[in-house]
């Protein structure tokens, strides 16, 4: 078990280093046994992203909106998810997360499901989103933790504050579940 965690840590560190070189596809993948603690086992695909670039001009503003680069990234996410048949979208209630998924939600005619960052993976989540493709948008400190929870691991750390292009894809369609890390520019 320790060897597996060590190997996974090395893979994730390598993926981050290569990701910083502006690659735009797969950085790494790993697999674990799927979550079966709930009455409803997961069999879907979960795409986890951090909100796009926010306005940092006034650090006192607790709920800033996206800057033009962030609005542009929101359009890129919409293009990325264009061919993916999303069953639903989860978002926190912050302006920056909602603005990040507005283009995708509008294109897919989906209303975002608002969640509390530290309380997403619960019985309602298992019941509602056990199958299909789901987009989850959150924050630099919550998306890695949600990914860790879905993958039953404790390997991923917070996303660097300047990085808004990561996509974690957790795929439960096979056993074991897989995690793939993408860098989308």
Determine the Cα–Cα distance for residues 40 and 128; give it in Å rounded to an integer.
10
Q: Encode pLDDT of 17-47 as tens digits.
A: 333 333 333 344 444 444 444 444 678 999 9
pTM given for the model: 0.79
- The 10 Å Cβ neighbour count of residue 135 is 27
Which residues are registered as beta bridge partners of 34?
none
pLDDT of residue 22: 35
Residue 23 to residue 30: CA distance in whole angstroms: 19
Task: List the beta strands (DSSP E) in 51-106.
Answer: 86-91
Spatial distance between the Cα atoms of 96 and 64, rounded to a whole number of angstroms:
7
Query: Which of these ranges, 3-7, 81-85, 149-153, 172-176, has the smallest mean pLDDT?
Result: 3-7
Distance CA 54, CA 50 (A): 11
Which fold does the domain 2-183 belong to in CATH? Rossmann fold (3.40.50)
Q: How do residues 89-140 score in pLDDT, each as one tens digit?
A: 999 999 999 999 999 999 999 999 999 987 888 888 878 888 899 999 999 9
Number of Cβ within 10 Å of residue 157's Cβ equals 13
In sequence order, what DSSP letters do the residues of 97-115 get, joined into one string? HHHHHHHHHHHHT-PPEE-
| Residue with more model confidence, 155 or 118 | 155
**Under 8 Å between Cβ of 34 and 121:** no
pLDDT of residue 41: 66
Which residues have a Cβ under 8 Å from the Cβ of 75 and sit 6 or more positions away?
Answer: 103
Pairing of strands 166-171, 177-183: antiparallel
Residue 115 near residue 134, CB atoms below 8 Å = no
Mean of the pLDDT values across residues 42-68?
Answer: 95
> Residue 123's pLDDT is what?
80
pLDDT for the residue numbered 46: 95
Domain locations in the chain as residue ranges? 2-183
């Amino acid at each position: 078990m320790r060897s597996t965690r060590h190997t996974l840590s090395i893979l994730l560190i390598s993926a981050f280093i290569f990701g910083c070189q502006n690659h735009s596809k797969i950085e790494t993948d790993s697999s674990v046994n799927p979550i079966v603690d709930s009455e409803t086992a997961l069999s879907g695909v979960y795409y986890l992203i951090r909100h796009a670039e926010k306005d940092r001009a006034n650090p006192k503003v607790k709920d800033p909106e996206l800057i033009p680069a962030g609005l542009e990234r929101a359009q890129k996410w919409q293009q990325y998810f264009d061919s993916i048949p999303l069953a639903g979208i989860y978002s926190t209630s912050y302006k920056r997360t909602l603005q990040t998924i507005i283009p995708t939600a509008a294109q897919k005619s989906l209303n975002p499901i608002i969640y509390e960052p530290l309380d997403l993976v619960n019985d309602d989540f298992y019941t509602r989103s056990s199958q299909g493709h789901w987009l989850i948008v959150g924050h630099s400190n919550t998306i890695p933790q949600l990914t860790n929870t879905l993958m039953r691991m404790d390997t991923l750390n917070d996303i660097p504050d300047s990085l808004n292009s990561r996509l974690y894809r957790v795929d439960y369609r096979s056993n074991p579940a897989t995690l793939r890390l993408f860098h989308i520019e």
